[in-house]
């Protein structure tokens, strides 16, 4: 049975390769396919469309870096329109809540042993529906346990290759001071230190923590303070 592994990006490709090896080891009737399998000189669009037509299952390899990939949306969308084909997502370092439509419409599999076992069970059932050589429960459990640790090790290595997020550029000193000044002016208009002391203390504390500012010693509520 043909299974299309959909990927985009280096980590997604490595995930697809790991899954391809694992699925062939566990269920011999499964024939995984991914776009790098196209031979040089071959018309890749024609090959891809032919594969989409005959694939009964597509596994979309998602991670935190390729959620907006147009290629993934194209392949998964095309396969989902194919008669009798099923599509699911494999989440490497994501949770279900991280996925937005249209990808969230597909059933997901998380990088967890129990969830991957459910995926394998589902694939084995599809193999049976195609009247191909499926495994009985005992055989499936045995082969899954034999090869799971190898897959887990490969995927954990891929997870650690996660690209660091771009560090959000910090606000300028002027922006920070303007925010503090706005708070102080708000309090100055009330000229009621006892009423606003807790609000001011909390605001200053938050700014100190967020921007690593030197600690400011707040005046006691019975002190005489002038804003301006």
Given this model, what pLDDT does residue 167 score?
46
Give the end-to-end CA distance of the chain in Å, rounded to a whole number.
76
User: Does residue 21 sit in the same domain as residue 37?
Assistant: yes
User: Does residue 50 sit in the same domain as residue 79?
Assistant: yes
Q: How many domains does the chain have?
A: 2
Show the tokens assigned to 172.
Answer: 């300028």
User: Does residue 152 sit in the same domain as residue 194?
Assistant: no
Given this model, what pLDDT does residue 55 score?
80
Helix (H) or strand (E) holding 107: strand 107-110
Given this model, what pLDDT does residue 221 score?
44
Show the tokens assigned to 22.
Answer: 């694992």
With tokens 């706005």, the residue in question is 182
Can you give the pTM of this predicted structure?
0.67
Given this model, what pLDDT does residue 225 score?
36
User: Does residue 94 sit in the same domain as residue 139?
Assistant: yes
Residue 63 and residue 8 in contact, taking contact as beta carbons nearer than 8 Å: no
* Exposure of 91 in the CB half-sphere (CA atoms within 13 A): 17
User: Does residue 79 sit in the same domain as residue 144?
Assistant: yes
* Residues of the chain under the 50 pLDDT cut: 167-168, 191-195, 215-228
User: Does residue 201 sit in the same domain as residue 137?
Assistant: no
Given this model, what pLDDT does residue 61 score?
96
- CA 163 vs. chain centroid, Å, equals 12
What are the CA-CA distances from residue 178 to residues 126, 175, 193 (Å)?
A: 63, 5, 20
């Amino acid at each position: 049975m043909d299974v299309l592994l959909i990927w985009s990006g280096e980590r997604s490709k490595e995930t697809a390769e790991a899954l391809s090896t694992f699925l062939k080891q566990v269920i011999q009737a499964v024939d995984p396919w991914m776009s790098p399998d196209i031979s040089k000189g071959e018309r890749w669009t024609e090959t891809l469309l032919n594969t989409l037509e005959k694939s009964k299952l597509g596994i979309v390899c998602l991670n935190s870096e390729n959620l907006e990939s147009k290629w993934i949306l194209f392949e998964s969308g095309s396969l989902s329109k194919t008669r009798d084909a099923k599509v699911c997502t494999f989440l490497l370092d994501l949770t279900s809540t991280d996925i937005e439509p249209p990808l969230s419409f597909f059933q997901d599999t998380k990088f967890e042993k129990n969830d991957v076992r459910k995926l394998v069970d589902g694939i084995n059932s599809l193999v049976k529906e195609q009247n191909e050589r499926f495994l009985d429960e005992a055989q499936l459990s045995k082969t899954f346990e034999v090869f799971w640790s190898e897959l887990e090790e490969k995927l954990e290595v891929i997870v650690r290759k996660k690209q660091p997020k771009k560090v959000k550029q910090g606000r300028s000193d002027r922006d920070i001071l303007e925010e503090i000044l706005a708070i102080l002016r708000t309090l100055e208009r009330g000229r009621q230190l006892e009423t606003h002391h807790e609000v001011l203390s909390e605001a200053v504390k938050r700014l100190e923590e967020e921007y690593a500012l030197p600690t400011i010693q707040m005046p006691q509520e019975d002190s005489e303070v002038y804003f301006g």
